[in-house]
Structure 1
Amino acid sequence: MAHSPVAWQEDGTPHSPRFHDIYRSRGMGATGPWDQARTVFLGGCRLLPANDAPAIWSGQRQWHVLETGFGLGLNFLATWDAWRRDHERPGQLFFTSVEAWPVTADDLLRGVQAYPTLQPLAQALAQQWKGLLPGTHRLVFEDGRVHLTLRIGHVHDSLAALDIPVDSVFLDGFSPQTNPDMWDEKVIAGMARLCRPGTRVSTWTVARSVRDLLVKYGFEVTRQPGCPPKRERLEAKFEPRWPVRRSWRSACASTPSHAVVLGAGLAGSAVAWSLAQRGWRVDVLDAADRPAAGASGLPAGLIAPHVSPDDAPLSRLSRAGVRATLLRAQSLLTEERDWAPVGVLEHRVEGKRALPPSNPGEQAVDWMADWSAEATADQLARCALPDGASGLWHGCGAWMRPASLVQAHLSHPLVRWQGKCQAARICREGDLWAVRDASGQCLAQAAHLILACAYGTRALLAEWLDHNHATLPLNALRGQVSWGNMEQIPQPARQWLPAWPVNGHGSFIHGVPSADGEPIWIVGSTFERGQTQPCVTPEDHAANRVRLERLLPSLGRAMGETVQSAQGWAGVRCTLPDRLPAVGPLDAARWPGLHVFTGLGARGLTLSVLGAEILAAQWHGEPWPVDAPLARAMLASRFATQR
């Protein structure tokens, strides 16, 4: 559990011992802080209707608010509340906020005790308020229409990492006297770099140093009546008297229209849903006669973060992916039927996997336990692991039936799925991409085409990659699981069943419902590189038996023959050499409108939702849902050959 940087005083005022300052002014009364949020920040940036005039975001497709200090979250909650109340609100609200010292969920709730209207929103925020290690965290609300992007870290570094423009800015934080780093020239310059002409800025302080810096960096500044007990506040508008040159990240597609996705698995369905949520009409084509017929048809799989001593990019991406997938599951799926956040115990076979070393001097390290921690002796014992075994407890872990998530994504009203569409080649025809079958018949065409057909992506790109100096080095990875009904488990083996799903050398899950509702057990999976046929073999049943005996020795010995004679499922996944997916255009200049989402390997459940949101952010110029270097590490353009 993270320690809070807030100390609540007897009169209910939240105080920061670190900065010797209070989070809000005294003498405001019960509704004062909310009045300040609405008057100073929302009103100052024209985000509320006033004098029969609509709010400035009225009718916009999306709106991006930047806040320099999240604090107790009142400005975000007030903005979210204003968005909900406005019938002409933007379709997507992006709220990016910086915070070096995040408070606890209890503090968020305590901070809105006087505001019944905000309490349900604060409850929703508190439910997601966990695992806030340094870096970027995306929290999602309103079925994916409200995005809170939290940058945990110093404000200087956080502003420097942003690469898209903002529409409104809330300059907030402890006073310039107690925390001058929040108001220095580097902050104002970094904020100004993200503004375009007309961007409005609001703040409660009228400090001369802040006014002068705003003017220096191109803002027209005015004093306005403040929210009592403060007499004045500042409003500013970015109107530089010099040419403005920006190096913002450009969007691939500005206006939602029509897109075609090839592949109805985890990747393709997630992309379809993310685009449909932003107003796109999406046709999803697949060669099979049902969705999730390929590697996404696994009876059930695990969602758990990857860990490494150096907290490698894959580890950080997996945490973001776990968060994104679990949020999507909570929104679209039925718990206990389609998924369950039960936690996952990782048996560290031969000592594999280790957590990053902790640093007691850093408050943020307390949040690591929300993701992964050393397993306790009791947890190891409840999984029937032998004396001397070690493990990790992933409290954020879950099991999920992948096909359920695929079907939920494809059920979006703007998504149309069509099976038995065997794509043989893709063609550039004018401004459109056409998908044709072996006879030359056009199956679909659109200006934007996403290839999300796993290893099949390689064949469709072959003629383009061979002649245009680009590559996508996909490798096939066949995997087989062994499974059966719970009643098939021998009676002597039942005493060794683990209390939770276990991974670490393959995985073992039991008691999850099958497609027909009967509880089943699953063990696996094998990994066979270069094999492109999803055939079930007795050799892989034997391999899964060996895996189970190493993962859960007592259970494996007791279930030996049961695994050997079990039912089987096999699928072909695909990987890339750096173990990360490929998302987005391979080369937007040469092939505008052609995108891929493939190479998820065995982490489709963990990375598909996140990857789809990275693609959507790339298309629309939205904030990245992860640190920018991590997002760029997943872009397919990393495989384009530079001329």
Structure 2
Amino acid sequence: MSAPTVESADLVWMEGDQPFSSRFDDVYFSRDSGLEETRHVFLTHNRLAERWHAMAAGEHFCIAETGFGTGLNFLAAWQLWQASAPDDTCLHFVSTEKYPLARTDLQRALAIWSELADLSAELLDQYQDLTPGWQHFSFAGGRVTLTLLIGDLFDTLPELDAPVDAWFLDGFAPARNPDMWQPALYQRMAELSRPGATVATFTSVGDVRRGLIAAGFDMRKVKGFGRKREMLCGQLQQPPAQPWRAPWYARPEKTCKRSAIIIGAGLAGCSTAHALARRGWQVQVIERLPDVAGAASGNPQGILYCKLSPHHPPLSRFIQSAYQYSLRLLQRELKQGEGRWHACGVLQLGTDDKEQRRQQGLASQGYPASFLQAVDARQASALAGVEISSPGLFFPAGGWVSPPTLCRQLLEHPNIEVRTTTAVADLRHDGSQWQLLNEQGDCLAASGTVIICGAHETARFAQTRHLSLKPIRGQITHLPADAHSSRLKTVLCADGYVSPARQDEHHLGASFRFDRLDLTPSEEENRHNLELLQSLSPELHRHFSVTAPQGARVGLRCTAPDYLPLLGPVLTPDAFLDQYAVLGKDASQQPTAPAPWQPGLYVNTAHGSRGLISAPLSGELLAAWLGDEPLPLPRDLAEAVHPSRFLLRQLVRGNASSNKISTQGQRR
């Protein structure tokens, strides 16, 4: 993927509070009454109030919009949703935007609408200057989600996987923004629409009307708002033929009963439970250890470490979206201070030529300063409070978090039940639901939906033994804080990391070993961690070289061969091989037989050392898979993290057999 260009909106403020686009020579909303225009054009002519009032418990509704702009349409829809929809329903709002507003401009524009002040404040609390890609937000206790597709809509909409119920066809006028109003847009709208989906737009231009009709929408002219005589609205009448989609990446059949069991109470399990519970699911979390976050998620300090590539491969794009979602979740769920989390900033130091070139490549791509900044060694030293000898990138919104505190907070929901000291030895499907069995074969619990979030132990079940997972030992070292070391104000990262003091202790790490999987701390790894300090800060290295560590902690990370997590539904491997054997001879074939899913079985694992960043958005992705919601990631990224990917690769490369796949367990 080519490097994105970050372009913010070019605004001029007219008459004090009227945002005007100098790029498109057009206003963002009506001078007469932008809010009333939104209600007339988009809310009334998509018949939203009546459709929402008729929804049943557990249903969700998806609006897709072209042109987020000031967010006025979103806030107006959210306000109507609160007044019209039953409590146990969800609204998903997906919007494209090529030129996002800076936060200060968004705040100024929304200040006009005092009746939306509470909703605007909730949006602004989570909104920062946006980077390219997909930005996912959660509001109203999980009842409302917003997914912003930042970039050209002809790049983003083809990757959208969302069953759309209503379209807000917005954006600057066709005469001012002709590149947007194209037949390809109308065709993609039809492809994404559910049967009977509606569309409304402020324009009545003939080319737009004819283009929508050609795509399958029945369009009509109706009275416009204010000085506009006419506008268009309509409904999908002729759904287009859908392009072929790989069945092994398709959505499994949606479950009717919204209850699930999650195996594992680390960051992945707690994030998944939180995402489902906020949508009204009843969730039971089963953990083999005496407490939540007792394994790899139990370090006292975790780092929000967002290492990106200027070439933007799938891993880098996933991390970027996940990092920003994690920051929003922390802002929403876990107040700063008292050892919980601290947005002290993260300095990623360029300690060799290769790393400095990578950082220069990122810094040249126009990211907002609120996301990352290039700094020299002098600037880095001023930010860190200690001597730094290397240039680097500064992530102002990053910092450290207490993972156990976050896990416990995510589980604080009335829809979540937690059972600790409960080990699941086996899974058995009885034809209608999964039974979770202990070592004696007794049933511990049963559910139609099970999500395994057990890190590398995910692969110990017969149903998931084919997954490519590897445990990696990591040890962190605890160092006592004193007056000198407490001058450290930011997290420092390079080959390792060191944290600012939390409860009179710094944490330094981490080792990365494949040759041993025990959990006993070693002096060798403490020495290794102390050596990492030399590249982070020679000053701190000198200081701690004469200080004895006051403890260490070992955990087992879990990774996949491509270092991306595994998130989604699980196939039956032998049936997959038999059903799609033709791919082993000709990978260009497009089989259409439905995938042999293991009914109601999902995984969320292989987060490596990035769980604080990747787990929260992964929970949202799992919830979207389960609820047939819009995916919070582009389709290609959802496939890049899908558990089916390794089965497919083995089959296409011709080195898979039924025996190989069904017996390939976790690697040691």
TM-score, normalised to structure 2's length? 0.86
Q: CA deviation at 1:4?
A: 3.4
Corresponding residue for residue 595 of structure 1: 602
2:361 maps to which of 349, 357, 363: 357
- The CA distance in 1 between the partners of 2:449 and 2:69, in whole Å, is 41
Query: Does the CA contact (< 8 Å) of 2:96 and 2:148 recur in 1?
Result: yes
Amino acid at match of 2:606: G
Does 1:567 find its partner at 2:551?
Answer: yes
Question: Deviations for 1:188-228, whole angstroms, at most 9, x for unmatched residues?
Answer: 11112122332111111111122222222222222222211
Q: CA deviation at 1:356?
A: 6.3
**Residue 357 of structure 1: SS of its match in structure 2?**
helix
Corresponding residue for residue 314 of structure 1: 315
Corresponding residue for residue 471 of structure 2: 476
Q: CA deviation at 1:464?
A: 4.0
Question: Deviations for 1:441-495, whole angstroms, at most 9, x for unmatched residues?
Answer: 11222121111111211222xx4466xxxx3221111111111443xx4x6xx16
Corresponding residue for residue 455 of structure 1: 456
Q: Structure 2 vs 1, CA of residues 445 and 640 (structure 1 numbering), >3 Å: closer, same or farther?
A: farther
Amino acid at match of 1:342: C
Question: Deviations for 1:100-148, whole angstroms, at most 9, x for unmatched residues?
Answer: 1112223222323332012332233234333423321112222332211
- The CA distance in 2 between the partners of 1:298 and 1:2, in whole Å, is 38
State how 1:211-610 maps to structure 2 within 5 Å: 211-240=209-238, 245=242, 249-337=250-338, 338-351=340-353, 352=355, 354-355=358-359, 357=361, 365-376=365-376, 377-383=378-384, 388-460=389-461, 463-464=462-463, 471-486=466-481, 489=482, 494=484, 497-513=487-503, 519-562=504-547, 564-587=548-571, 589-610=596-617
- The CA distance in 2 between the partners of 1:387 and 1:235, in whole Å, is 60
- The CA distance in 1 between the partners of 2:123 and 2:284, in whole Å, is 33
Q: CA deviation at 1:3?
A: 4.9
Question: Deviations for 1:169-191, whole angstroms, at most 9, x for unmatched residues?
Answer: 11111112222222221111111
**Residue 7 of structure 1: SS of its match in structure 2?**
strand
Q: Structure 2 vs 1, CA of residues 481 and 220 (structure 1 numbering), >3 Å: closer, same or farther?
A: same
1:620 maps to which of 614, 627, 631: 627
- The CA distance in 1 between the partners of 2:56 and 2:10, in whole Å, is 37
- The CA distance in 2 between the partners of 1:196 and 1:302, in whole Å, is 41
**Residue 110 of structure 1: SS of its match in structure 2?**
helix
- The CA distance in 1 between the partners of 2:9 and 2:597, in whole Å, is 51
Corresponding residue for residue 582 of structure 2: none
Query: Does the CA contact (< 8 Å) of 1:481 and 1:544 recur in 2?
Result: yes
Amino acid at match of 1:40: V
Amino acid at match of 2:553: W
- The CA distance in 2 between the partners of 1:568 and 1:575, in whole Å, is 22
Q: CA deviation at 1:84?
A: 2.3
Query: Does the CA contact (< 8 Å) of 2:30 and 2:37 recur in 1?
Result: no
Question: Deviations for 1:270-315, whole angstroms, at most 9, x for unmatched residues?
Answer: 1111122222221111111111110111011111211223233222
Corresponding residue for residue 577 of structure 2: none
Corresponding residue for residue 516 of structure 1: none
Q: CA deviation at 1:243?
A: 7.7
**Residue 130 of structure 1: SS of its match in structure 2?**
coil
Q: Structure 2 vs 1, CA of residues 137 and 192 (structure 1 numbering), >3 Å: closer, same or farther?
A: same
Question: Deviations for 1:536-568, whole angstroms, at most 9, x for unmatched residues?
Answer: 112222112212233221111211242x44211
2:172 maps to which of 159, 171, 174: 174
Query: Does the CA contact (< 8 Å) of 2:386 and 2:540 recur in 1?
Result: no
Question: Deviations for 1:11-62, whole angstroms, at most 9, x for unmatched residues?
Answer: 7443222222222344x1xxx110000111101111135xxx9646575621
State how 1:64-103 maps to structure 2 within 5 Å: 64-86=62-84, 88=86, 91-103=89-101
Corresponding residue for residue 632 of structure 1: 639
**Residue 218 of structure 2: SS of its match in structure 1?**
strand
Query: Which stretches in structure 2 are left out of the alignment for 5+ residues?
Result: 1-5, 572-594, 652-656, 658-668
TM-score, normalised to structure 1's length? 0.89
Query: Does the CA contact (< 8 Å) of 1:46 and 1:56 recur in 2?
Result: no
Query: Does the CA contact (< 8 Å) of 1:83 and 1:89 recur in 2?
Result: no
**Residue 528 of structure 1: SS of its match in structure 2?**
coil
Q: Structure 2 vs 1, CA of residues 285 and 90 (structure 1 numbering), >3 Å: closer, same or farther?
A: closer
**Residue 170 of structure 1: SS of its match in structure 2?**
strand
- The CA distance in 2 between the partners of 1:292 and 1:234, in whole Å, is 54
Amino acid at match of 1:596: V
- RMSD of Structure 2 on Structure 1 (CA): 2.5
Q: Structure 2 vs 1, CA of residues 48 and 165 (structure 1 numbering), >3 Å: closer, same or farther?
A: same
Question: Deviations for 1:139-171, whole angstroms, at most 9, x for unmatched residues?
Answer: 222233221111122222222222332001111
Amino acid at match of 1:80: W
- The CA distance in 2 between the partners of 1:311 and 1:398, in whole Å, is 23
